[in-house]
Amino acid sequence: MTSSPALNQPPPRVGSLLSRVSRAIRVRSETLLGPIGLRPRHLIALSVLRESGGTTQQALATTLEMDGTNVVGLLNELEGRGLIERRRAAQDRRRHVVELTEIGRLTLEKAESELAAVEDEVLTNLGKDQREQLYVLLQQAVGCAPNYAETLNEC
Amino acid sequence: MTSSPALNQPPPRVGSLLSRVSRAIRVRSETLLGPIGLRPRHLIALSVLRESGGTTQQALATTLEMDGTNVVGLLNELEGRGLIERRRAAQDRRRHVVELTEIGRLTLEKAESELAAVEDEVLTNLGKDQREQLYVLLQQAVGCAPNYAETLNEC
DNA sequence: TATTGTTATACTCTATAACTATA
DNA sequence: TATAGTTATAGAGTATAACAATA
């Protein structure tokens, strides 16, 4: 009896709002990441790889909701900069196992810390607790437990 | 002392997670909206117009984080289908005031109700309360009070 | 002269189809 | 025959530049 929009109705649609907030962050991130030579999508891929710790390209495509052909190009760019590593899977030599390199991990962390300013700006209406809350909700939505450090590979 | 990821650190970055969830919904929405002849971006624009109740194209471009030139094309499509209306502002005849038509409002509502299935699928890990919570956070992030019915034009 | 909207166009993103290699 | 990855390429999305009307 505390929430405002409706009392006992289906949950409201969040798609449009998600797009707007997501886009706001992405647009600003692009200009900020330019000098480093990275783009938002690179960070997304790197962050998925950090949390999954080694996936096949096809699984990555599914997770990123990207077409497999575009994952190839994305990984080429990341591999060219030494941020990720591709190696054939021993069990099935058709597959590439993709992993974050140490440089990739450090680069990701650095980029993330530089993006703090962007998110501070876009999410200025949210307090720290609310941003934490948002993070937990999104993390849960994509299927990871909030403290993903314990879940390791299954993300 | 209750949250898990960190105790007294800056809030975590949500950009990548936002992109992933947003994209997941968008991709599925595209296929579902196809038959109606609408696309996610149309819904986003319509929903902004519904809540702002009449803006200039430039303001719309800012809100949507879109280039003004692309807003023109987007509005052309919506106007062609009778979902929005453009009229010159009396005070400044350079400006177009853009408004949702009644057809536009009904079409938006119908599309939104059809998208329930999509969001149910993508947000299956979130309970109803959590989805409501997510909605409130996003609404607040974009600058609207949770119960925006009261705030009217300033959104 | 500056601003709102428009058009034309180049650039980037994304998906479709055909190919190679492994299974 | 089917699957993982790759390449080439066409379609959609986005931004840059030049223009018309109004201020």
3-state secondary structure of B53: coil
- Out of B17, B47, B65, the one facing A139 most closely (by C-beta) is B17
Q: Is residue B155 predicted with pLDDT exceeding 80?
A: no
pLDDT at site A38: 94
Whether B113 and A10 have beta carbons less than 8 Å apart is answered as no
Instruction: Band the pLDDT of B151: cuts 50, 70, 90.
Output: very low
Q: If you compute the radius of gyration of chain B from its CA atoms, what whole number of angstroms results?
A: 18
Q: Is residue B152 predicted with pLDDT exceeding 50?
A: no
pLDDT at site B153: 36
**What is the rounded CA–CA span in Å between residue A19 and residue B64?**
9
What is the per-residue DSSP string for chain A? ---SS-SSSPPPP-HHHHHHHHHHHHHHHHHHHGGGT--HHHHHHHHHHHHHSSEEHHHHHHHHT--HHHHHHHHHHHHHTTSEEEEE-SS-TT-EEEEE-HHHHHHHHHHHHHTHHHHHHHTTTS-HHHHHHHHHHHHHHTT--SSTTTTTT--
**What is the rounded CA–CA span in Å between residue B136 and residue B133?**
5
Structure tokens that stand for A55 in this block: 């996936």
How does the average pLDDT of chain B come out, rounded?
Answer: 89
Cβ–Cβ contact A29 with B under 8 A: yes
Residue at shortest CA–C1' distance from D8? A69
Query: Among A2, A4, A7, A18, which would you mutate to test the B interface (most chain B Cβ atoms within 10 Å of its Cβ)?
Result: A18
pLDDT at site A145: 54
Q: Is residue B125 predicted with pLDDT exceeding 50?
A: yes
Q: Is residue B106 predicted with pLDDT exceeding 70?
A: yes
Q: At what angle do helices A68-80 and A57-64 cross, to 10 degrees?
A: 110
| CB crowding B4-30: b at 16 or more within 10 Å, else e | eeeeeeebbbbbbbbbbbbbbbbebbe
Give the tens place of pLDDT for each residue, A6-29: 457 888 999 999 999 999 999 999
Q: Domain A15-141: give its CATH code.
A: 1.10.10.10
| CB crowding A55-72: b at 16 or more within 10 Å, else e | bebebbbebbbbeeeebe
pLDDT at site B10: 85
pLDDT at site B149: 40
**What is the rounded CA–CA span in Å between residue B32 and residue B54?**
28
Whether A155 and A148 have beta carbons less than 8 Å apart is answered as yes
Cβ–Cβ contact A64 with B under 8 A: yes
Give B86→chain A minimum CA distance, Å.
22
Cβ–Cβ contact B131 with A under 8 A: yes
Q: Which has the closest alpha carbon to A137: B62, B80, B99, B17? A: B17
Cβ–Cβ contact B138 with A under 8 A: yes
Query: What residues of A are in contact with residue B143 (Cβ under 8 Å)?
Result: 125
pLDDT at site A81: 95
Structure tokens that stand for B5 in this block: 């990821």
Nearest CA in chain B to A124: B141
Give the tens place of pLDDT for each residue, B40-73: 999 999 999 999 989 999 999 999 999 999 999 9
**What is the rounded CA–CA span in Å between residue B128 and residue A5?**
13
Mean pLDDT confidence for B2-23? 81
Q: Which residues face A55 on adjacent strands?
A: A98
CATH T-level assignment (fold) for domain B15-124? Arc Repressor Mutant, subunit A (1.10.10)
Q: Is residue B2 predicted with pLDDT exceeding 70?
A: no
Task: Tally C-beta pairs within 8 A across A and B.
Answer: 181
Whether B69 and B27 have beta carbons less than 8 Å apart is answered as no
pLDDT at site A53: 87
Q: What percent of chain B has pLDDT above 90?
A: 80
Mean pLDDT confidence for B77-104? 96
Task: Return the minimum-mean-pLDDT range out of A40-44, B24-28, B140-144.
Answer: B140-144
Nearest CA in chain B to A139: B17
What residue ranges of chain A have pLDDT lower than 70? 1-7, 144-155
Query: What residues of A are in contact with residue B65 (Cβ under 8 Å)?
Result: 20, 23-24, 27
pLDDT at site A100: 97
- More confident position, B91 or A4: B91
